[in-house]
Amino acid sequence: MAFTYIYKRRIGSWGLVARVSLDVQSMDEPPGVGRRIDDSRVWWLPPQGIAATDEKWMAFGLGLVVGQLEALRDGAAALLVRVDDWDVPMLTDYQEEVAAAAVIECLQEYCGIDGVDIGLTLDRERNRYRFTWDGASAEPGLG
């Protein structure tokens, strides 16, 4: 099943926008391509040309919901989450964390994934958004 989701958040005059297209498929055997998420039976494939930081954040987001993705296998040997497209139309307010938030919210919208509370505030002093994942700050590879 393939779907597209537009992530939009606005705080005051600031905003974040990104568009992600995903395809989620159960498979009879693990895919020959892709990246395995932790030690699960879930793999993912990033889009061609994605920035390394966006890829890390997408992997982070998928890792937060990997247990729920496992349930989508529905008895199949593997599940593949293929990111077909990733677009950030307004780079001025963009932060890489959006890649994790957009993937998670896309899966929430179209696959019934839940359980990750994504908090967002604007740190005016640092001129950056501050994301939290289930109430805690985290970064890829740092828990």
Task: Report whether pLDDT(143) > 80.
Answer: no
Q: What are 60-115's pLDDT values in tens digits?
A: 999 999 999 999 998 999 999 999 999 998 766 789 999 999 999 999 999 999 87
Task: Report whether pLDDT(56) > 70.
Answer: yes
* Strand pairing category for 14-27 and 2-11: antiparallel
Q: State the pTM of this model.
A: 0.92
Sign of the C-alpha dihedral computed for residues 52, 83, 44 and 114 taken in this order: positive
Sign of the C-alpha dihedral computed for residues 115, 34, 83 and 93 taken in this order: positive
User: Helix, strand or coil for residue 116?
Assistant: coil
> Residues 35-50: what's their mean pLDDT?
95
CATH of 2-133, one of 3.30.230, 1.20.120, 3.40.1350, 3.30.40: 3.30.230
* Strand pairing category for 35-36 and 128-133: unpaired
> Would you kindly state where each structural domain of the chain is located, as residue ranges?
2-133
The per-residue pLDDT for 54 is 95
Q: Which residue has the higher pLDDT, 92 or 17?
A: 17
